[in-house]
Amino acid sequence: MEEPPGRTLATLRRASYESYLITPEEFIDAGDQVLMLVHVRARTIRDGVGVEHAPAALFEVRDGRIHRARFFLERALALAAAGMEPPPAGGWRSYHWGT
């Protein structure tokens, strides 16, 4: 039986990082979407390298439930996907699942 995408990502994260902390910084109401800005601080298992970045997630809400989740390494891309800014010149890069 195949694991759900979220569980697979969590399994990969645990295998790669000795610590991985996601701190929500802001939730932005964008109509039928919610934009979540976060700060990530992690340390790799193999080399103990510290990693910090500020990604974002965009959730599409229908009938009070999350219908679709998209994750962005760059906040500007998430803002553009939410219709809050034009997409950057580099284009779109995101990981998402949902219907």
DSSP code at position 73:
S
Dihedral sign from CA coordinates of 61, 63, 64, 65:
negative
Instruction: Give residues with Cβ within 8 angstroms of 59, minimum separation 6.
Output: 33, 34, 35, 36, 66, 68, 69, 70
- Across the range 62-75, mean pLDDT stands at 93
Q: What domains sit in the chain, N to C, each tagged with a CATH number? A: 5-98 (3.10.450.50)
With a cut of 70, say whether residue 38 has pLDDT above it. Answer: yes
pLDDT in tens, 39-60: 999 999 999 999 999 999 999 9
Burial code of 33-71, b = ≥16 C-beta within 10 A, e = fewer? bbbbbbeeebeeeeeeeeeeeebbbbbbeeeeeeeebbb
pLDDT bracket for residue 11 (50, 70, 90)? confident
